[in-house]
Amino acid sequence: MTTSITSLINPVLAISDANAALLTFGVYCVLVMGLAVLSHRLLASRSFQAEYFLGSRNLGVWAFMFTFAATSASAGSFAGFPALIYAHGWVLAFWIAGYMAVPLVGMGLLAKRINRMSRQADAITLPELMYARFGSTAISIIATTLIVFLLTFYLVPQFKMASLILQSLMKDAPLWSECARVLGTVTSKIAYLESEDPGKLLGLLTFSLMVIVYTSMGGFRAVVWTDVLQGIVMFVGVLVMLGLVLYQVGGMSRATAVMSEMVPPVLCEASFSRTDQTDSKEIQIPSESWFEFAATSDSPARLFRINETAFVREGQKQSDLVKCVEIVSQYERDLFASWKAEDSAVIIPADVTAKVVNEKPYAYGAGQKGVYISAPGPSEDKDFGFLTIAVAMSFFMYWTIGGAGQPGNMVRLMAFNGTRTLKRSLALLVIYFSVIYISLVLIFCCSRLLIPGLDQTPDRIMPLLSMNIAASAGVPWLAGLLMAAPFAAAMSTVDSFMLMISSSLVRDVYQKGISPNVSEKTMKRLS
């Protein structure tokens, strides 16, 4: 089906002062690096290995609570989880409820025993602790192998999320755009990088450099101190976002009423072609843009939103296929019409026509009202829905057992300074997790009312929502704080796991297996 595009607009509200958001985010980054410098100075005055890898085992209540919370709340909490809420609705509250019990099991069941045994055996790493408990070199080697191998893969989505945040925040900054352009000219000559987005690669490089520098400088102490800062940023950012979202949707009651009338969109793909075949310049149609098919005698008007950037390359007549969705809920169609009428959208200067193919209704929820506020939630490919109640309740077992044994959390259990610290941190952490995750459920259920049509790329909802609500509230600098929350979640997990991989390789592999008499200076250099 081919027709002319009646209007092609970008409904993402422009931030009137992008520099304000960048400044806020920059202040956060400077604070992180400042904490690394301070911890590096403290490191110089203490025993290297005990301080660098375990913070001298003297974490207090707030440091222990925040570092445990920040390490647990990875990029998945601020990217994958919000994306699932956006796509499948209220049923995700059952999913995350089990995770909120993780500190009860991890701290309550394991903490005292792990902490006592690590002190008795003078164990600094988890493989050392395994050896002290079981007296088996094989178990220690297996633990080291699993930590190095599996945690490396676990880091991939953390880097991806951080890169996405930097892209969303920096894309309008002239310096960032120029750096991305220069990087693009370099990567275009490398076979396996030529098709990659230079902005994405620049985000990966920037995030990598930052987190490697401060982790290497200060070790465990730097990680813990930055975890405290990041935990505070996450907590404040989520509460501010909750207040703004509820205000802008008109309250939870209205949001629920609107969601009860929504039906899932139709998934599809689209390509774009030039109408002026004499023009050979490249045409770019940004991701999240909209287009319409005018009503005809055979069919009503249709509204679509693309989820990927489309390019009609120089010298080409047609773009590659990109993901898009057809908007079918009346509320979302009315929202688009209000943006268009208020002239709050940006017209994309592109003389093109669109062709929609591969249309695919949801396997469960297509045409059904109320699926976003009831179990099992809409699903693209499962005819029984996304998450049945029985499976949702099973997450109480899955999360508590799996979460309690996360290596990053177990290292924290080796570092607190006493039973009193443990009890108070446990009580605070239950409150912290409850506030964070209940708020996220509320925020991203409501997000469908503010930013519809991201169903094929829902992982973009966090940065887009942050920038939109800050701009709508008239405080663009706040976007920097809101974007820092998911960035902090990714950073706090990456720094912890990088340090674990480093300690396993340097202490458990090199010192224990290759050079038992290695000097502390060499250990420091290798770490």
Q: What's the whole-number mean pLDDT along residues 113-136?
A: 86
Choose the CATH number for 59-258+377-526 among 3.40.50.2300, 1.10.3720.10, 1.20.1730.10, 2.60.40.2230.
Answer: 1.20.1730.10
* Rounded Cα gap, residues 441 and 316, in angstroms: 44
pTM: predicted TM-score of the whole model, two decimal places? 0.83
Strand partners, 416: 59
Strand partners, 352: 274
Band (359; pLDDT cuts 50, 70, 90): very high
Q: Is the dihedral of CA 212, 217, 219, 222 positive or negative?
A: negative
Q: Is the pLDDT of residue 379 over 90?
A: yes
pLDDT in tens, 278-309: 677 888 888 888 888 888 878 888 999 999 88
Of all residues in the chain, the percent with pLDDT exceeding 70 is 89
Length of the chain: 527
The pLDDT assigned to 207 comes to 84
Spacing of C-alpha 16 from chain mean position: 25
Q: Is the pLDDT of residue 6 over 60?
A: no
Report cis status (omega within 30 of 0) of the bond before 452: no
pLDDT in tens, 68-88: 887 777 777 887 889 999 999
CB 459 within 8 A of CB 77: no
Max avg pLDDT among 127-131, 202-206, 444-448: 444-448
How crowded is residue 149: how many other Cβ atoms within 10 Å of its Cβ?
10
* Rounded Cα gap, residues 471 and 459, in angstroms: 20
Q: What's the whole-number mean pLDDT along residues 361-378?
A: 93
The pLDDT assigned to 490 comes to 77
The pLDDT assigned to 220 comes to 67
Range scoring the smallest mean pLDDT among 130-139, 306-315, 337-346, 403-412 = 337-346
Tokens of 300: 């009503």
The pLDDT assigned to 166 comes to 79
Residues 108, 113, 118, 121: what is their CA dihedral angle, to the nearest 10 degrees?
180
The rounded mean pLDDT for the chain is 82
The pLDDT assigned to 12 comes to 46
pLDDT in tens, 83-104: 999 999 999 998 888 877 777 7
Band (526; pLDDT cuts 50, 70, 90): confident
User: Residue 308, SS3?
Assistant: coil
Band (354; pLDDT cuts 50, 70, 90): confident
- Backbone Cα Rg of the chain: 25
* Structural domain boundaries in the chain: 59-258+377-526, 265-360
Band (479; pLDDT cuts 50, 70, 90): confident
Q: What's the whole-number mean pLDDT along residues 454-482?
A: 84
The pLDDT assigned to 1 comes to 46
Q: Is the pLDDT of residue 251 over 60?
A: yes
CB-based contacts of 130, cutoff 8 Å, min separation 6: 136, 139, 140, 143
Tokens of 45: 């005055």
Band (363; pLDDT cuts 50, 70, 90): very high
pLDDT in tens, 142-197: 888 888 888 888 888 788 878 877 777 777 667 777 888 888 888 777 777 776 77
